[in-house]
Amino acid sequence: MPLKVYNSYTRQKEIFTPITPGHIGMYVCGPTVSGESHLGHARPYITFDFIYRYLTFKGNKVRYVRNITDAGHFEEEGREAEDKVTKKALLEKLEPMELVQKYTNLFHWAMLQFNCIEPAIEPTATGHIVEQLNMIETIIAAGYAYEVNGSVYFDVKKYAATHDYGKLSGRIIDDLLETTRELDGQEEKRDKADFALWKSAAPEHIMRWKSPWGEGYPGWHIECSAMATKYLGAEFDIHGGGMDLQFPHHESEIAQSTICNHHQPAKYWIHNNMITVNGRKMGKSYNNQIRLTDMFNGTHPLLTQPFAPMTIRFFILQSHYRSPIDFSSEALQASEKALKRLWEAYEVLQKLSVPADQAAGDAEMDEKIVKLVNELEEFMDDDFSTAKVLANMFDLAPIINSIKDGHIPISAVSTATLQLLQNSFKIYLEDILGLKDTTANDNNALDGVMQLLIDIRKEAKSKKDYATSDKIRNQLLSLGIALKDEKDGNMSWNIE
């Protein structure tokens, strides 16, 4: 079955065909490490993580490149046209690279919490100044950029005369909002639509590099173009990022790369939608961000409790990546419970076993299971519909639990079907959706203690000493350990 993806560039779902069969180049805009990641940042990285996982599952070798923006984008509208990283560094009295390192480490830690597979290459902007300078020189030589007072700007008007500037973002240059504010550097530009490739650095600016136009630092857009070209070539398969990057960032990347490489950089542009708070995009502009560390700790006025990284991942998976999701503590709570239920069914499933070569005793049930399982790939092939994948899994969960409870006899399903079900749950839940058990316990001592308590409680119950059995169960619960009596007289437990 062919994979179909929605290409932002053509605004339609297309059959995905890698440029080189079996190999895929994917570039995703990474974080600007001038501050701590918030909930909104989690979405693209989780989204492109399951996309990466799925492409790999489909038998492709994927080179996943995600940059670290550590040079800081100049603030085009800022009074001082200061480098963002530098500005914060001064406030915190840290060396710029010290700050960059701190937030890079924090970012990596958060990605680990979310069970995101690390990219194959994670290039930094500061590590690719040479490549960026080369690219800028090529653009100047081609006549599409000009230098003013040590800064270099891309000539959008000239480019647009012969190229499709605005196609990706659906923009018409003449319709761009007229800004009335006096902006730094604005008067240097020949046209308000022009964007900076290189900015001359003021004397107090710490991050600076030598260039043919004097000391300065690179513009934001050029870094992605330079790194993507270096590691993935003039044309690669996928370029991803948040929808808010379509303009001007990705539009500008297209223009730069097209002039340098004579080619639109990416065959497929994939953009994830935003996470909103009370209907408003989470971000700097609205000052409504919830930092990831606050999510994990529950330390934010909007949170009623801490939320585990897997809960957040599951929350994101429950809606389609191109739909906006509105954050709320209630919605997260629902996700937490749903994930728990699904995961417990999954654990039950892995413990089921049937005799080899058993035929299906209930053909209808057997077929139903096979159908639900086979649809999983169909859904993922349809532009990564993770929400539908989960819906089918929730349809399968009661069947699994019923088999365990005996409401559905184990003889109803064939050996092949049970194995298919077990394998598929593992592949989709763990390998593709990237979920994992967060309550997993690998402490042998605790296991032993729990077994001891369960034995004592069993004994008490058999003597109808309910005072003792209830005491054990209640005390454990107050410690956050839930003990459940099962049908066969056994007891199971898990840490809440």
Q: Tokens for 65?
A: 């490149």
**Judged by CB under 7 A, which stretch of 243-251, 350-358, 426-434, 435-443 contacts RNA?**
243-251
Q: Which of 7, 151, 335, 424 binds RNA (CB under 7 A)?
A: 335
CB of 407 to RNA, least distance (A): 5
In angstroms, the CA 363 to CA 414 distance is 9
Residue found by looking up tokens 């497929």 in the block = 268
Residues 37-66 that bind RNA (CB under 7 A): 40-41, 43-44
CB of 166 to RNA, least distance (A): 8
How far, CA to CA in Å, does 154 sit from each of 191, 224, 411?
10, 15, 70
Residue found by looking up tokens 């480098």 in the block = 83
CB of 385 to RNA, least distance (A): 5
How far, CA to CA in Å, does 98 sit from each of 34, 103, 464?
10, 9, 64
**Judged by CB under 7 A, which stretch of 226-234, 236-244, 413-421, 435-443 contacts RNA?**
236-244
Beta strands (DSSP E) in 429-489 are: 481-485
Using rule CB under 7 A, residue 107 touches RNA: no
**Judged by CB under 7 A, which stretch of 27-35, 95-103, 304-312, 438-446 contacts RNA?**
27-35
**Judged by CB under 7 A, which stretch of 88-96, 103-111, 292-300, 467-475 contacts RNA?**
467-475
Burial of 330 (0-12, 13-18, 19+ CB in 10 A): exposed
Using rule CB under 7 A, residue 220 touches RNA: yes
Using rule CB under 7 A, residue 126 touches RNA: no
**Judged by CB under 7 A, which stretch of 54-62, 114-122, 148-156, 387-395 contacts RNA?**
387-395
Residue found by looking up tokens 């934010």 in the block = 300
Q: Which of 124, 261, 293, 401 binds RNA (CB under 7 A)?
A: 401
In angstroms, the CA 308 to CA 195 distance is 41
Specify the amino acid at residue 447.
D
Q: Which of 115, 134, 293, 318 binds RNA (CB under 7 A)?
A: 318
Name the DSSP letter for residue 271: E
Cβ–Cβ < 8 Å for 369, 399: yes
CB of 20 to RNA, least distance (A): 27
Site string for RNA, 164-203 (x = CB under 7 A): -----xxxx--xxx-x------------x--x--------
Cβ–Cβ < 8 Å for 88, 35: yes
CB of 304 to RNA, least distance (A): 13
Residues 357-376 that bind RNA (CB under 7 A): none
The set of residues, in sequence order, having a beta carbon less than 8 Å from that of 252 and lying 6+ positions away, is 154, 195, 221
Using rule CB under 7 A, residue 481 touches RNA: no
